[in-house]
């Protein structure tokens, strides 16, 4: 059964000191605009790592639906680290595709800016291996720093390649009114930023953010009743990998991403060259470089040179990667990230992205990752007639 996204909404990502997770969730729903038929929604999947202080953990999803005055449909809390939102979307899409329900809500929310730095690092660290990584002192940034350091040692990337990712995504984020970091930065600023986990500096890392995002997914018959411009979810895939880096055959690849992408491409009947715009998980700059390779967009050894020439950027022609600013500039409220990627691509395929619109975008890809690649989802979207 064909599946479509028919409505989407997202809060501004950043600091929301006066809003809790319930208010953020309700705000994302409100961003869909008036006229949404909430009575048609039969099930809800809500992604969140639940890392805020004082959050409701038991019955988290029903509590959010209750606050937003939605119908008391089955509500499920989906947690898969930083891929929680992507897996919430996957559950909604699969529920509709199976024919069990006609319409589902996929959402994600996170409240992170009220955490101390120490507590924030703890919650981020639990997305990696506890016994051999976090308890041994390895931070989340440290895991990706190891990956980047190995690639530099092997001569497969340059330090400036990492910086080029940050420069591009900040340029895009400056055009996004809902981005956390709306400012451009220079290559020199990235290279001179204080170190966080060598070789990664402060400007190689995404911010922690508050925010929420939501989409409504419907079967084909219902989609046409709800909108005259559905965005079709034509392919999806998910995969897992070993959690700890030391258990992998290589620490410089993301095997789960490669497998998830292969499944999504096969289902959609499209390859990497057929994608016009992509939102990829760039929690750290090295993650985007590796993703370009694993998704089949560009060999890793060529990525930095192509970025220097303006590739993957708005206005350059060809594939545009992270027009929203990505996690690096748009922000990373963990549970909301994967759903927010779908919100951005829904707008892109409807031609409603304003200054960051990708001309002629007809096919889009979203890649969301948990931890350092232990889980991953890939979705492929097409506009009507695309």
Report how far residue 190's alpha carbon sits from residue 262's, in angstroms, rounded to the nearest whole number: 33
Q: How far is CA 301 from the centre of its chain?
A: 24
Q: How far is CA 60 from the centre of its chain?
A: 21
Q: What share of the chain is helix, strand, coil (3-state, %, to 5)?
A: 40, 20, 40
Q: Give the tokens for residue 213.
A: 């995002």
Q: Give the tokens for residue 303.
A: 């990525």
CB atoms within 10 A of CB 36: 18
Which residue bears the tokens 């929203």? 324
3 state SS for 69-97: CCCCCCEEEECECECHHHHHHHHHHHHHH
**Residue 219: active-site member:** no
- Which residue out of 170, 172, 332, 379 is catalytically annotated? 332
**Residue 51: active-site member:** no
Q: What is the dihedral of CA 93, 276, 230, 179, to 10 degrees?
A: 80
Report how far residue 262's alpha carbon sits from residue 107's, in angstroms, rounded to the nearest whole number: 25
Going from the C-alpha of 129 to that of each of 348, 364, 369, the distances in angstroms are: 36, 32, 15
What does residue 385 show for φ and ψ, rounded to 5 degrees?
85, 0
Report how far residue 293's alpha carbon sits from residue 235's, in angstroms, rounded to the nearest whole number: 19
CB 236 within 8 A of CB 269: no
- Which residue out of 82, 205, 206, 283 is catalytically annotated? 82
Q: Give the tokens for residue 143.
A: 């895991």
Catalytic residue list: 82, 332
């Amino acid at each position: 059964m064909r599946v479509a996204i028919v409505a989407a909404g997202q809060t501004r990502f950043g600091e929301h000191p006066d809003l809790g997770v319930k208010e953020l969730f309700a705000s994302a729903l409100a961003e869909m605009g008036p006229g949404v038929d909430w009575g048609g929604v039969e099930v809800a999947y809500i992604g969140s790592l639940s890392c805020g202080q004082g959050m409701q953990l038991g019955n988290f999803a029903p509590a959010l639906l209750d606050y937003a005055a939605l119908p008391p449909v089955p509500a499920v809390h989906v947690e898969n680290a930083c891929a929680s939102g992507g897996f919430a979307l996957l559950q909604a899409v699969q529920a509709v595709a199976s024919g069990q329900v006609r319409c589902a809500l996929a959402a994600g929310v996170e409240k992170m800016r009220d955490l101390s730095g120490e507590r924030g690092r703890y919650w981020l660290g639990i997305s990696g291996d506890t016994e051999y990584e976090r308890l041994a002192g390895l931070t989340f940034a440290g895991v990706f720093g190891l990956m980047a350091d190995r690639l530099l040692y092997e001569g497969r990337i340059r330090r400036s390649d990492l910086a080029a990712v940050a420069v591009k995504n900040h340029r895009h984020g400056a055009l996004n009114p809902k981005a956390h970091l709306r400012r451009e930065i220079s290559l020199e600023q990235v290279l001179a930023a204080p170190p966080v986990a060598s070789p990664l500096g402060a400007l190689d890392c995404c911010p922690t953010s508050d925010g929420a995002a939501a989409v409504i997914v419907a079967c084909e018959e219902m989609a046409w009743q709800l909108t005259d411009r559905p965005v079709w979810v034509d392919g999806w895939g998910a995969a897992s990998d070993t959690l700890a880096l030391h258990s992998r055959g290589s620490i410089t690849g993301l095997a789960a991403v490669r497998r998830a992408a292969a499944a999504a491409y096969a289902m959609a009947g499209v390859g990497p060259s057929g994608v016009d715009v992509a939102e990829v998980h760039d929690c750290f700059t090295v993650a985007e470089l590796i993703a370009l390779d694993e998704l089949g967009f560009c060999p890793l050894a060529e990525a930095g040179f192509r970025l220097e020439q303006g590739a993957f950027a708005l206005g350059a022609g060809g594939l545009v990667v992270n027009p929203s600013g990505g996690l690096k500039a748009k922000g990373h409220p963990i549970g909301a990230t994967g759903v927010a990627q779908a919100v951005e691509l829904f707008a892109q395929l409807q031609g409603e992205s304003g200054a960051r619109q990708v001309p002629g975008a007809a096919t889009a890809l979203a890649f969301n990752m948990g931890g350092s690649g232990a889980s991953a989802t890939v979705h492929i979207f097409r506009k009507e007639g695309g």
